[in-house]
Structure 1
């Protein structure tokens, strides 16, 4: 897309937003008597424009309006098999609270901005976009108010509460999974209170299997894998010209890893990486790790050739190894700190530490920051004095690459901590996804296999699982420490009486107290427990447990619920066994086979006798 065309489209789109948002804002200000808000409207419209502009991995030196680059993708409501396309006419207005879950690179943030654009342009809504990674405790209203003020939008917490009381307002909460772990439980309570206190609509995104799954207030959707039509649509938007587009589509059609119904390119980020890293005549990478590994070489060598073969002097010249080692270490330590974005000063500090690690002069950290940013384009400037990785999955893959390079004893310690410390695991679980492929033998021998052996109390780490019994200790944790919370409130008006029931989904709140496998298996198994409780049953069981109420809330374990309904424990334990079998059994047995085979080979073949 040419620069002039892009500018015209962006300007036109933003003018449409101004014309639609403006009248809604004027109406709400008058309705709630908020005329004292100084210059809110002007700055608010600028704020909306900024949130609708996106920098892409392909073109990081300019921003595009989301409508220019967006290709419709599908979401699916939990418990159904029906795909819903998010296109130019989608508002998602039927539910007051929606949770959209998706894996890394599935385009959740872009999808959220598209919904913001639709609601602003076509449905006369007043949208507010808030990145949850910035939440540091306190009320959500105050956090949003502070965030708006950073964009020059001055609005008091009181005035914001007035606006939130109107159903014309839509709040977009992006990336719950990026919230710092120490604030997540508080934020869960805040979001619950927020939804139940205001009439505004709330749309939130997150990666799967986070604490936000416990909130029953949300109607949950999941982002679907891309269809072939969507894949080719993204290629068309991404490719530099028609010839490159045709070549990319043709290469993909010829690949055995792509069929009309199933493709290795399951998410937008993978399609974009494919477009960037594929060169004419090359084979398409057949694993995710190959995609991500290729991307560094591609951006490193193509940077000086994309604009007329300009040569730029580098501190280490073309020594890609140094830059790669530096980048790997930077990704690891920033991920360890839970940061995907950071100030210039913080980035310089990270790079200084990384330079020390690779035995280079750390005093050149400032220069190294500039070179990493300009050469790789995998870290981009995002506003004044702010930097971020172009995508979190980039940071996670190269952090995994760093772990691969660790000396053996440190690597063993890393795997042990991941499988024994759930909080540590949550920081690196996506890096572990890559390590399972990149470092197969060490990952399984020192991490996964010992974890399963301990979880199931197996007698050997070298024997496959045929039959096993779930240990009583594991059953007890599953039945007693997974709870749903419920409360009821009775309202009286004269002789009439009504009630309101509130409840959460089943959650494992003690995940930090147990090894990682407990949480992973339990969260999966919970979805297969089918125990229905009517409102009357809930009120009855709460009354039976009145002595243990916490501010009116009753914690109901699986065991308590089964006992109340006179159902056997096996109903829940069958779901637990299903979780163990699906998530671990085949994976464990395959790893045992490979490790035993490698061990036998090393002991029996003369070539390895040294």
Structure 2
């Protein structure tokens, strides 16, 4: 879209915004807003994905429209996202919650473009991860890095008058990528932003269980899984029109009855993209997510960027083997993930790679050549401006989990001890910022996770229930909260606790019903504390105390069952080893 068309589309909201300014300011502000929108429109219109890594591809050519559903709604009434105006018909402030790879960020790109196409409002997109390295709060970031940096305005009073107009739609993308150290403060600043400039519209995206669903006055929606017809449509859009045979084979493989038990993975756009990418080498649907990631790395390492030309191996400048690349990626991902770094500038890459070389003496490489290989030859890091990022954050999480799972027993136990402290913390924000990492680690090292994390955690919860049951303070509600979060993450293996899970969701629903609709009330800290003490604690006590009493015998039985499981696994390994009589093996004879 050209600048004149952007100007035409934004004329109405622009006229409203700058109506009270002098003619000189009108001209400057109007020109700068239009220039910003033109640049951002095209930045969001063209995108790289794990399937289209070589060159940016037009979003409309590969984007599969997503649907939302209301948070905690039992009936799957799917809400279309094809019109940003319709999306805001009922509510002014929205959170969009989705698991890793559900398509949240791509949806935001689509809605940004749609906002201009529909001449709805002036969209402003903020990737919240950039706040991690910003010395200031959210409102200052918007003033400094959006308006001043982009040249939209230079005077704070002018900026604030613009923001007070109500003609903006703010996309706050990636709440889950905020560092723990700034999350609480940033959440307050989001409240401040919405409270102060409350005529605008706001969308916040996040992975689940980050606490964003409790943000006052925001209405929560979840990204729906792809349905069968959408999976087929998604595949069709990713494959070049000339590759009809490849497209048909992929769709046929997905529809095979023997693959039906794993097709839940393919309802996630990222995992479906991975299946398409790896199809010609691995035509079966993996049983586990971690197998997808393994196959993706293998495919990226050996194959050309184009999915239609899968027989070309790029030369690697660094001269490293596949195993050495994997070792470096594991260590780099582990370090960067737990430093909460998701965007990497050259300085950070150099510093971290030098650390790796100083500690891991078995690998040697030139930093720049390695970066070139990771970006160009393999495509496991994408260059965005001056920075580098993984094609999707979950790849970083996979390599970090793989690193932990391959440590020797002593080092792995040391890491698990640190993880257990995180699980037991009353504030579980750190844990759930890393929920997908733990899920992948559970697949890679299920026995280790059970023995060193789950069982000790359950024992700790039992002790804490006993210690808090005689009091009427919030102690046991906090215990319930922590337990709920962990059970939610490992729900596939903890179905015994479904009643507890439902009860805690009931608590959240009851709290939401009694929550004041006026955001001004809950952004005041005194009112917020009063609401918490008089409503949240009261409801928690009413529902959770009897629920925790019922939970105790279930939890004791679960601990016993898991311990017996580990014993039986050890015994079965002993029996297998016992099948071989090492003392009766034939002697090794050298050839003559």
What TM-score do the two structures reach when normalised by structure 2? 0.81
Partner Cα separation in structure 1 for residue 540 and residue 190 of structure 2: 35
- Of residues 129, 139, 142, the one that matches 1:141 is 139
Asked if the contact 1:289–1:434 (Cα under 8 Å) also holds between the matched residues in 2, the reply is yes
The 5 Å alignment of 1:199-598 reads: 199-240=199-240, 241-258=243-260, 263-279=264-280, 282-303=283-304, 306=309, 309=312, 312-316=315-319, 319-360=321-362, 362=364, 364-383=366-385, 385-421=386-422, 422=428, 425-426=431-432, 428-457=434-463, 471-475=465-469, 480-481=474-475, 517=483, 520=486, 526-529=504-507, 531=510, 551-555=526-530, 561=535, 569=541, 571-576=543-548, 591-598=562-569
- Of residues 70, 81, 84, the one that matches 1:86 is 81
1:192-239 superposed Cα distances (whole Å, 9 cap, x missing partner): 122222210111101111132331210110111111111111111112
> Taking structure 1 as reference, are residues 477 and 154 closer, same or farther at Cα in structure 2, changes over 3 Å only?
farther
> Taking structure 1 as reference, are residues 191 and 569 closer, same or farther at Cα in structure 2, changes over 3 Å only?
closer
Structure 1 residue 330: Cα displacement: 1.3
Partner Cα separation in structure 1 for residue 512 and residue 80 of structure 2: 33
Asked if the contact 2:277–2:296 (Cα under 8 Å) also holds between the matched residues in 1, the reply is yes
Partner Cα separation in structure 2 for residue 442 and residue 83 of structure 1: 39
> Taking structure 1 as reference, are residues 479 and 100 closer, same or farther at Cα in structure 2, changes over 3 Å only?
farther
Larger fraction in strand: 1
Asked if the contact 1:417–1:425 (Cα under 8 Å) also holds between the matched residues in 2, the reply is no
Task: Give 3-state SS (helix, strand or coil) of 1:128's partner.
Answer: strand
1:127-177 superposed Cα distances (whole Å, 9 cap, x missing partner): 100011112464423212323258633424432322222333111100111
1:427-468 superposed Cα distances (whole Å, 9 cap, x missing partner): 5332110111111111111111111122113xxxxxxxxxxx
Structure 1 residue 597: Cα displacement: 1.0
Paired residues, number? 544
Q: Does 1:128 align with 2:127?
A: no
Partner Cα separation in structure 1 for residue 88 and residue 515 of structure 2: 30
> Taking structure 1 as reference, are residues 263 and 213 closer, same or farther at Cα in structure 2, changes over 3 Å only?
closer
Structure 1 residue 577: Cα displacement: 6.4
Partner Cα separation in structure 2 for residue 382 and residue 32 of structure 1: 36
Asked if the contact 1:145–1:154 (Cα under 8 Å) also holds between the matched residues in 2, the reply is no
Structure with bigger RCO (C-alpha 8 Å, 6+ apart): 2
1:233-278 superposed Cα distances (whole Å, 9 cap, x missing partner): 111111232211111000110153337x963212110111011011
Q: Does 1:66 align with 2:59?
A: yes
> Taking structure 1 as reference, are residues 212 and 313 closer, same or farther at Cα in structure 2, changes over 3 Å only?
closer
Q: Does 1:37 align with 2:32?
A: no
> 5+ residue gaps in structure 2?
423-427, 490-500, 583-592
Structure 1 residue 575: Cα displacement: 4.8
> Taking structure 1 as reference, are residues 398 and 255 closer, same or farther at Cα in structure 2, changes over 3 Å only?
farther
- What corresponds to 1:489 in structure 2? none
> Taking structure 1 as reference, are residues 439 and 116 closer, same or farther at Cα in structure 2, changes over 3 Å only?
same
1:270-301 superposed Cα distances (whole Å, 9 cap, x missing partner): 11101101116732222211111110000101
Asked if the contact 1:91–1:123 (Cα under 8 Å) also holds between the matched residues in 2, the reply is no
> Taking structure 1 as reference, are residues 588 and 115 closer, same or farther at Cα in structure 2, changes over 3 Å only?
farther
Q: Does 1:19 align with 2:8?
A: yes
> 5+ residue gaps in structure 1?
1-10, 458-469, 484-507, 543-548
Asked if the contact 1:55–1:64 (Cα under 8 Å) also holds between the matched residues in 2, the reply is yes
Larger displacement relative to structure 2 (297-306 or 56-65)? 297-306
Partner Cα separation in structure 2 for residue 184 and residue 562 of structure 1: 21
> Taking structure 1 as reference, are residues 578 and 174 closer, same or farther at Cα in structure 2, changes over 3 Å only?
farther
Partner Cα separation in structure 2 for residue 585 and residue 263 of structure 1: 32
Asked if the contact 1:403–1:411 (Cα under 8 Å) also holds between the matched residues in 2, the reply is yes
Asked if the contact 1:52–1:66 (Cα under 8 Å) also holds between the matched residues in 2, the reply is yes
RMSD: 3.7
